[in-house]
Amino acid sequence: MAYIETLPSLICGLLLAIKDLRHFLVPRTWVAIGSMSQFAVFVLVAVIRCDPAEAFLPLCYAILTATVQFVLSRFRQETFGLGDVTASFMMAQAVGAFGLMAYLFWWLIMSGLGILWIAFWQVMHSVSKATKAPFVPVIVISAIIASLL
């Protein structure tokens, strides 16, 4: 049942990944709609199950993720854009629904896939002008993998 509860983040995350790959753009309105709809689903589930932790633990994981990535982006300006930070906020809600271990696995998977993705992107774009690799696809794919584990 938890997989169905995370559909808003999954659908919006896949759309954001496609948009980021094609246009190097992460529309913040899409992220806001996906995040709010995901939180609304978690609140509804929490009310049905009479368990407020069902709504607020994923939100806490999302806030922690956005904070960590925002701080990392301030140390080195080229690392994460604001679109990457907001997209990870949305996907962290979905992963957080599966608990702390899924959340920690998500970070591990995201870092491993991220290193491979950036290396692949640099090899594929070494002939032409090198562009910054879009990172939202890595965030979304790693969130899906972590949720399935």
In the chain, where the domains are located: 2-148
Listed residue (7, 17, 1) closest to 142, CA to CA:
17
pLDDT of residue 21: 87
pLDDT at 129 over 70: no
pLDDT at 44 over 90: yes
- CB burial class (10 A; 0-12, 13-18, 19+) of residue 124? exposed
93 phi, psi to nearest 5 deg: -60, -45
pLDDT tens digits along 66-111: 998 888 888 877 667 778 888 999 999 999 999 899 999 999 999 9
In terms of residues, how long is the chain? 149
**Look-up: residue for tokens 């002939």?**
127
- Confidence grade of residue 127 (pLDDT, cut at 50, 70, 90): low
pLDDT of residue 71: 87
Under a CB-based contact definition with an 8 Å cutoff, are residues 92 and 140 in contact? no
pTM of the complete model = 0.88
